[in-house]
Structure 1
């Protein structure tokens, strides 16, 4: 694993239409919608996840969103975000999106913030998600192969440094990442010792 930066270098392969799971206010599934059309100025509540991927040295992988993303383009954020397919286990979705966006396998995927949700907007486009948070580790021997349609660049940063930079306004990250960092700090200084979140606190659509 390198402590330097990596840059995206290829376009995503052609894939079937991606659907997101729509939710009511209690987190129950009420239908699906194409991801390509769901993010607007009035985005409906839907199911997502965020994951924080660490290397063996304890550094966190920060990623910068592709410059042409529909939401929050070019913004630094956590390692990988995404939407589970209808009926897909969230941990499986973490592994799938890590492979797709970062070109790597991750291990030890663990739920840490089951009840996280947020609403944020940039440039008139809204994100509105119930977004459980997971922690994972880069599998041994893996090297980043970024999908440039998803990730513009990536860098490995010590966990304590990330928290300090964001806390004091020295690094701008996505609104959801900033909120999640504050909550994750409350779990303790060592990500490997963060307690597992209670799966019963996941949105009903994700249980």
Structure 2
């Protein structure tokens, strides 16, 4: 028997205020909760894009960054990144470098379902083949970072709303994603500093 996965609820200042079942927090009144986004790169600087599985509750079938998810209560976000990369893409990789410690967004789907997340962003570099889990991922695609970032910013690529907001912030870190300097974990919201 498996127990239902819980997410960490946070206030506007990023302090944990409780937990809730993951299945209960994505609806028309989605509370702010702790999440993460990650961008996987190969050693050529290509970014791994994923198309969300068609049966996902939020943004089904939409192309996005490599992997997103939620830290479990008491789980450091960087460990959650590595756990979900293994589950969703069959990737075993370390480290997960913190890039955007305080990224947050709210997005509403056409059917009214809301994503509302405090969502630190991480980078992972790999040299292993990807094995997508069809429960989570419909398709994968490697794309040169420059081509991807320009396509997103010029509106030429249809991409998830959170990724669309993250790309300009990542571009500010420099033109080569492999040389971006990690942020300090001390800059994470209080709920993510474990």
Task: Please state whether the residue corresponding to 1:149 is helix, strand or coil.
Answer: coil
Which deviates the most, 156-165 or 16-25? 16-25
Q: Which 4+ stretches in 1 moved above 6 angstroms?
A: none
Q: Which of the residues 91, 108, 115 maps onto 1:104?
A: 91
Paired position in structure 2 for 1:128? 116
Q: What is the alpha-carbon distance in structure 2 between the residues aligned to residue 88 and residue 31 of structure 1? A: 14
Q: What is the alpha-carbon distance in structure 1 between the residues aligned to residue 53 and residue 185 of structure 2? A: 31
Structure 2 portions without partners, runs of 5+: none
Q: Which of the residues 130, 149, 173 maps onto 1:163?
A: 149
Q: Which of the residues 107, 110, 114 maps onto 2:101?
A: 114
- 1:15 deviates by 4.9
Q: What is the alpha-carbon distance in structure 1 between the residues aligned to residue 40 and residue 3 of structure 2? A: 26
- 1:99 deviates by 0.3
Q: What is the alpha-carbon distance in structure 1 between the residues aligned to residue 9 and residue 129 of structure 2? A: 34
Paired position in structure 1 for 2:60? 73
Count of paired positions: 192
- With normalisation by structure 2, the TM-score equals 0.96
Structure 1 portions without partners, runs of 5+: 1-13
- With normalisation by structure 1, the TM-score equals 0.90
